[in-house]
Chain A
């Protein structure tokens, strides 16, 4: 089973990379952008076939390694 996770910076954490991407997109002529926030995407292919167990396991991975909960939030966005 493949579990997909997105990790983003918490709202109140400064994202200088997102800011620069925003400025660059502005410079390229993409208009009407309010804000850009950069994050990370992980696809974890696990031998576990039970969806609940697999997601629980990935949640544990997020807490222990994939995300730093001081500054980041994680969200499991799908399993298949």
Chain B
């Protein structure tokens, strides 16, 4: 399986993602934002970080960079695209995913482990996943998911919510919503479910000695689904 991780100026989780993808069997290539062509890929990842210093709006500048034209074509042709954290912000700014990520409700940068509950397994990212609840890490200032009433209706009608912030047992309520996200949304799909964006970082949970193994479970399942 071939994957590509795009590095934008200010990306800082690109190497972590490279390590994670390689650990679970992907042949990964790093792609510079100013490149025009995307290498042959089964999965394209937009990593976390602070592309362009979060100027204007998080992800807005990166969403207009040269490589994004190829990413857009790839995604619109059904290619699998995954955006993590800043990558999620880039995907909503590019219009590939609905909604927007606002400043966290209490204006604090949040850096901690949280739990997320998988909402929809009928897609390449969570198909055949035995686990319902993951412990992942979040580190963001703008993760407060928001969209219009029309959009949220469409998102629910098409079952586009990927992950909810939940507690350890999978209860979804305001107490376990870290940033004020609409309906506790931690990740969404496009309508066709080939594109996913999520605020949590599975790539930070791939080593039991350092963090946890829930990311390992996610990546192992992902590569099996793409094979």
Contacts and interface: CB of A to CB of B under 8 A. Distances in A.
Nearest to B59: A68
A44 interface: no
B60 A17 contact: no
A71 interface: yes
A68 B93 contact: yes
Contacts of A20: 107
A71 B56 contact: no
B103 A17 contact: yes
Interface in A34-79: 65-66, 68, 70-71
Interface residues of B, number: 19
B199 interface: no
9 contacts: A13-B146, A14-B105, A14-B180, A17-B103, A17-B107, A65-B56, A68-B60, A70-B99, A70-B148
Interface of B: 56-57, 60, 64, 93, 99-100, 102-107, 144, 146-148, 151, 180
A68 B100 contact: yes
A6 to B, nearest CB: 14
Interface in A11-27: 13-14, 16-17, 20
B107 to A, nearest CB: 5
A16 B104 CA distance: 8
The 6 closest A-B pairs by CB, nearest first: A70-B100, A16-B107, A71-B100, A16-B103, A68-B100, A68-B57
Given A65-B60, A70-B147, A13 B107 contact: no
A70 B59 CA distance: 15
Contacts of B147: 70
Contacts, number: 32
B147 to A, nearest CB: 6
B148 to A, nearest CB: 6
Contacts of B106: 16
Contacts of A14: 102, 105, 144, 146, 180
A16 B105 contact: yes
Contacts of B102: 13-14, 71
Contacts of A65: 56, 60, 64
Contacts of B144: 14
A13 B103 CA distance: 11
Contacts of A17: 103, 107
Contacts of B93: 68
A28 B56 CA distance: 29
A16 B108 CA distance: 11
A70 B144 CA distance: 14
Nearest to B105: A16
A68 B57 CA distance: 8
A36 B174 CA distance: 26
Contacts of B64: 65
A13 B144 CA distance: 11
Contacts of B107: 16-17, 20
